[in-house]
Structures are given as structure tokens and as C-alpha cells.
Amino acid sequence: MSLLEEIQKRRTFAIISHPDAGKTTLTEKFLLFAGAIHTAGAVKSNKIKRSTTSDFMEIEKERGISVASAVMSFEYDDLKINLLDTPGHKDFAEDTYRTLTAVDSVILVVDSVKGVEEQTEKLMNVCRMRNTPVIIFINKLDREGNDPILLLDELENKLSIKVCPLSWPISRGSSFKGVYNIHHQSLHLFVANRPLEEMGIFDIKDLSSKLLDDRIGMENAIRLRQDVELVNGVYGSFDKKQYLEGHQAPVFFGSALNNFGVKELLETFVEIAPPPCPRLTDKRMVYPEEGSFTGFVFKIHANLDLRHRDRVAFFRVCSGKFERNKFYRHTRIDSDLRFTNPASFLGQKKDVIDEAFPGDVIGLYDRGNFKIGDTLTEGEKLFFQGIPSFSPEVFKELIKTSTKVKQLDKGIKQLTDEGVAQLFELDNGRRKIVGTVGLLQFDVIQYRLANEYDAECRFEPLNFYKACWITSDDKEQFEKFLGFKAGSIGTDKNNHYVFFAESEWMLNYYKQQYPLVHFHHTSDFDKQ
Ligand code: G4P
């Protein structure tokens, strides 16, 4: 098969949601449809069920599970689909944000009862940064959820994206009858948790047909006719170009648990989702069909086997063909590396592979060479962009409590290279500040430092509101700010200046006082 054919065959995406909206259930149903798994319950939820932070074994167990399910590949409709898993727990949201840099599109699951939740909004903000195409699945229609029109309004308002329903629910909760597929003009009658062959699917091109009244009753039929007319009038028709540019999100309704609406979603996904897209580097755009191989690391996972300090770097192929045992240039450290055991993931199985193509995600065993965002090429000095660190929300100062200072320094450096948290330095390196998006990471860090590096530490809470990367073209104003706020300005791992704001009010105040200083919420400020 030619490189172009390999590329056209691939779809790389992630399913994202606020915890509990149904991401794991939907993933499992996709894998069942594709025949990649055969029994329900095979996909383990990788969320940390307990919200208390004391159960370290639980954390370890969860880490193990998420290694195994970091990417699931399956074949469907002659396509090779790479589904990237994202952590379920909100404290690991940054991991999810980074995974989104490695996909070409996403399916966003929204709970019809809860509507748009906090994490849904944050995830969509990240999708918007790269104009990632989004399909929305409104789940749990078997429960008494919100009015679908209100849900669509909420999606548009809170997620700042135009929506276009491609299916429409007929009632909901205990009286849920099914959906009318506006896209294919067919009626799908709901039967709880049945295989597809047993579901009633009827082609009804003309909604005024008496057949509709016979199938769903007169009252539902009248309502559906009115709804579809309204929906067509308000939301118009689906525009694939708008979807691919990330401006319009097609919406489906269903119930993942009951296997309802899932196949249509998958079928529409394979019909409209984009193949591997070009990606931006610091020098130029890299196109998948280029002959030369390139790609980047978006996730690093420590190996659970403590006897070996190796890690798995998850690597997205962006162009050309990756080959086992061939030397590639690691552009940050400027040296050539080769990989003898690169792994691919089929269903839940891990296999050594000989080659991989754009869109594929492979696991590279690593002994500490990789940081998140690292690029491999066939020699060209490039760095893929858009794999930012996000402004952390919780800050603590790392206090050494053992004499093993070297191990502690090494440990905290490696853990933060893995992306567990971000490390900043204040007071010319005398104070180490760890920033995360959730509290759970501090327990993970403390536990792993003790277990993997034999180094003890404790954390002291700090009262910062946000860390912003700061830049300016105006040397004078920048130096004035650096001098004035010296006690609250540190550096990140790349020696970029970071300002720790005490409060939202203070941050806004300094933005006004120093209009020529730019305050960035992600580390990827070159492109902003
Ligand atoms: P997540 O990965 O997004 O966190 O969500 P997950 O799939 O684990 O689903 C969260 C809960 O919602 C699960 O129940 C799941 O069974 C339920 N669920 C998913 N889809 C539907 C649906 O279409 N209708 C209804 N009524 N429920 C749905 P749980 O009790 O928390 O877990 P479990 O014990 O069933 O695994």
C-alpha cells in the first residue's frame, strides 16, 4: 500500500467528557461494534473512583490501567482507527489536554441530565485552540434529561461553537421512544440494550407519512414533525467544511449504556472525520504525505516495574514512515536514537511493530531521553508546536525532608518531564514550586519519589491564583515589572519567566499597569 493510501486509511481521535458522562461506556461500545473486544466490561474505567487522595495503591493500579489503554486501535469499515484514551479524573486533566494535541478530531460526550459541565468547557477550550473538529454525543437519553432544544442552546452558549443536530430524540427518560436520524432520514426505535439487528430502523423520508404515527403514536409524531421543522429552520444543514474547520459540531442523541445511537455515531464518524492532518512546527507546516518521517511525544508513562527505570513515551507519527531499528534525530538533544521494540496497541494488546504511518501512535521505550513535546525527524531540525503546558491551578512548595538531595532533584526533574506536574523555581533556584491542575498529583509525586527514587519530601501549600508565562517586546517595561515583582517571578524548566499571581484581581491590575507585558496562560506563547 502506498504512503498516501496508508494515510487515507487512518482516523486518530479521542473521546472526551466530564467524568461520568459516559466516555468509558461509549469507548467500549465502539470496540464491541468493531469486534476489537467481545465482552462488555473489557474496557476498564481509568478514573480514580475514590476522590480521597490517600489510597496510593489505587493510584498505582489506575496508572497501570491507563498505560494499557492509552491508545486502542481497531479496524472498522476498511479504516484503521486509533482511539486515544484520556484520564477520567479531573486532576489529570492536563494529560487529557496534551493527548488532544495528538488527535485529528474528537467526540465529546455530554450527559443529557447534567448538560455542559466544568470539564466539558475546559476540554472544548483546548479543542478550539487548534480548531479540532468535534462531534457531540448527548448521552443518557434513557434518563429524565433536559429539553434537547435547551441542551443545544447551552452547548452553543457555553462552548462557543455552532451546533447542528443530525439526529433528534423522540421524548426522553422512561417514555424515550428513539431518535429520528435527520441526516439519513430514518427512524430508530429504542429497545434497551439490544443488539443492533433487533432494533427497529425504518426509512421515513417523508415525516408527514402515516407510518410515523403508527410507529411512535400520534402525539409523539406531531411533536417530532414540529421539532424537526424547528431544528432545520434554526440550525440549518450540516456543512462538512465548517465541521472540519472546527466551527460547527454535528450532534447525536443516544444512550451508550443501552447501545443506542452508537452505531450511527460511529458510522457518521468514519464518514466525516478527517484523516491525519498537517501539523505546525517552529519552521514550517509538516504534511503527512511528506516522504521524510517526523513525529512528537505527547505523553510519557513510567514503567510500573521498579527494577527497570524505563518509561514508555507515546509518540504520534506526523509524516512519512517510521521503521523499527532505524536511527532518527532527537532534535532537542541533537542526537540519533533508534528503537528496537516500538509497540503498537491493538484493542488491549501490545505488539512490537516494524513500521508505523502518520496518525499512528506508538510506544517507545525510553531511559530518560524524552520530555513531553520532543520531536524525532530524519535529520531536519524541527520542533512541533502546540504541545503546551497549561497554567497550573494548585501550587505547593517542595520541602526536602531527607538528606538524599540528589535523588530528590533527579526524581522531581524526571517526574515533571513526564508531565505529572510542572516545576518552577523561585529565588534563583532556591525554592522549588510544583504546580498542578489537581491535588492528587502531589500524592502521586510524593509516593513515587519515595518508592522510585528513595527520596522523601513534603509539600507546603502556597496561595497563588495562577502562574502566567510573561513576555514583552518592551525591554524597559519588562525589566521594571521583573524588578517590581521579583519575589513572585520565577522560571519554568525552559528558563522562561513565570509570574505567580496572587489573585485574579491582582493579575488584571498588573495587566492594566503593564500593558506592554504579555501574560500567557499556556507555555506555547510563540503562536499567540
Ligand atoms: P466516564 O468514563 O465518562 O467517566 O463515564 P462511564 O462510562 O464510566 O459512565 C458513568 C456512569 O454512567 C456509569 O454508571 C455508566 O454505567 C453510566 N452510563 C453510561 N451511559 C449511560 C446511559 O446511556 N444511560 C444511563 N442511564 N447510564 C449510563 P456507574 O453506576 O457510575 O458505573 P457502573 O457501575 O455502571 O460501571
DSSP line for 376-424: EESS----B---PPBPPSEEEEEEE-SS-HHHHHHHHHHHHHTTSSEEE
Residue 376 pairs in a beta bridge with: 295, 330
| 87 pocket-lining for ligand 1 (C-beta < 6 Å) | no
Residue 15 CA to ligand 1 center (angstroms) comes to: 14
Kindly report the protein residue whose alpha carbon is nearest to atom 29 of ligand 1: 20
| 139 pocket-lining for ligand 1 (C-beta < 6 Å) | yes
Look at 52-56, 102-106, 197-201 and tell me which has the smallest mean pLDDT: 52-56
Phi, psi for residue 115 in degrees, rounded to 5: 70, -155
Task: Report, as an integer, the average pLDDT of 38-46.
Answer: 57
* pLDDT at residue number 198: 58
- In the predicted model, is pLDDT for residue 527 greater than 50? no
- Whole-angstrom Cα distance, residue 321 to residue 377? 11
- The share of the chain scoring above pLDDT 70, in percent, equals 88
Task: Report, as an integer, the average pLDDT of 197-206.
Answer: 70
- The share of the chain scoring above pLDDT 90, in percent, equals 50
- Whole-angstrom Cα distance, residue 214 to residue 192? 20
Secondary element (H or E) of residue 359:
none
Q: How far is CA 332 from the centre of its chain?
A: 24
Q: Which amino acid makes up residue 468? A: C
Task: Report, as an integer, the average pLDDT of 164-185.
Answer: 89
73 — pLDDT class (breaks 50, 70, 90) = confident
Kindly report the protein residue whose alpha carbon is nearest to atom 21 of ligand 1: 257
Kindly report the protein residue whose alpha carbon is nearest to atom 26 of ligand 1: 140
47 — pLDDT class (breaks 50, 70, 90) = very low
- Whole-angstrom Cα distance, residue 480 to residue 489? 12
Identify whether the C-beta of residue 282 lies closer than 8 Å to the C-beta of residue 382: yes
Residue that wins the pLDDT comparison between 201 and 115? 115
Q: Which three cell numbers stand for residue 430?
A: 532556591
- Whole-angstrom Cα distance, residue 41 to residue 512? 54
Question: Can you give the pTM of this predicted structure?
Answer: 0.84
Strand order in the sheet with 457-461: 457-461, 394-400, 431-436, 422-426, 489-491, 497-501, 466-472, 517-520
Residue that wins the pLDDT comparison between 38 and 395? 395
* pLDDT at residue number 376: 97
Residue 194 CA to ligand 1 center (angstroms) comes to: 17
* pLDDT at residue number 459: 94
Closest ligand 1 atom number to CA of residue 26: 7
Residue that wins the pLDDT comparison between 311 and 244? 244
| 101 pocket-lining for ligand 1 (C-beta < 6 Å) | no
| 140 pocket-lining for ligand 1 (C-beta < 6 Å) | yes
- Whole-angstrom Cα distance, residue 14 to residue 82? 8
The radius of gyration of the chain from alpha carbons, rounded to an integer in Å, stands at: 25
Task: Report, as an integer, the average pLDDT of 43-58.
Answer: 45
- Whole-angstrom Cα distance, residue 330 to residue 253? 45
- Whole-angstrom Cα distance, residue 327 to residue 266? 38
The packing angle between helices 23-34 and 262-272, to 10°, is 80
All structural domains of the chain, each given as residue ranges with its CATH number in brackets, are 3-272 (3.40.50.300), 279-377 (2.40.30.10), 394-527 (3.30.70.3280)
Q: Which three cell numbers stand for residue 355?
A: 513500521
Residue 21 CA to ligand 1 center (angstroms) comes to: 7
Residue 120 CA to ligand 1 center (angstroms) comes to: 16
| 84 pocket-lining for ligand 1 (C-beta < 6 Å) | no
Residue 41 CA to ligand 1 center (angstroms) comes to: 12
pLDDT in tens, 345-385: 655 566 889 999 999 999 998 888 898 889 999 999 999 98
Kindly report the protein residue whose alpha carbon is nearest to atom 14 of ligand 1: 20
| 142 pocket-lining for ligand 1 (C-beta < 6 Å) | yes
| 45 pocket-lining for ligand 1 (C-beta < 6 Å) | yes
* pLDDT at residue number 69: 52
Identify whether the C-beta of residue 376 lies closer than 8 Å to the C-beta of residue 331: yes
52 — pLDDT class (breaks 50, 70, 90) = very low
Question: In the chain, how many H helices and how many E strands?
Answer: 14, 31
215 — pLDDT class (breaks 50, 70, 90) = confident
pLDDT in tens, 468-489: 999 999 999 999 999 999 999 9
Task: Report, as an integer, the average pLDDT of 454-475.
Answer: 92
- In the predicted model, is pLDDT for residue 172 greater than 90? no
Residue 140 CA to ligand 1 center (angstroms) comes to: 9
Q: Which amino acid makes up residue 56? A: F
| 419 pocket-lining for ligand 1 (C-beta < 6 Å) | no
Task: Report, as an integer, the average pLDDT of 109-127.
Answer: 91
Residue 25 CA to ligand 1 center (angstroms) comes to: 6
**Count of C-beta atoms within a 10 Å radius of residue 335:** 10
- In the predicted model, is pLDDT for residue 304 greater than 70? no
| 255 pocket-lining for ligand 1 (C-beta < 6 Å) | yes
Residue that wins the pLDDT comparison between 195 and 438? 438
Integer angstrom CA distances of residue 384 from 277, 283, 286, 324: 13, 9, 9, 22
| 319 pocket-lining for ligand 1 (C-beta < 6 Å) | no
In this structure, the dihedral spanned by the alpha carbons of residues 362, 368, 370 and 376, taken in order and rounded to 10 degrees, is -70
- In the predicted model, is pLDDT for residue 67 greater than 50? no
- Ligand 1 pocket: which of 20, 44, 137, 144 to mutate (most atoms <8 Å of CB)? 20
Task: Report, as an integer, the average pLDDT of 76-87.
Answer: 88
Residue 89 CA to ligand 1 center (angstroms) comes to: 14
Identify whether the C-beta of residue 75 lies closer than 8 Å to the C-beta of residue 83: no
| 257 pocket-lining for ligand 1 (C-beta < 6 Å) | yes
- Whole-angstrom Cα distance, residue 480 to residue 474? 10
Phi, psi for residue 500 in degrees, rounded to 5: -95, 105
Residue 267 CA to ligand 1 center (angstroms) comes to: 22
Kindly report the protein residue whose alpha carbon is nearest to atom 4 of ligand 1: 20
pLDDT mean across residues, the chain: 86
160 — pLDDT class (breaks 50, 70, 90) = very high
Identify whether the C-beta of residue 488 lies closer than 8 Å to the C-beta of residue 501: yes
| 22 pocket-lining for ligand 1 (C-beta < 6 Å) | yes
133 — pLDDT class (breaks 50, 70, 90) = very high
Kindly report the protein residue whose alpha carbon is nearest to atom 9 of ligand 1: 22
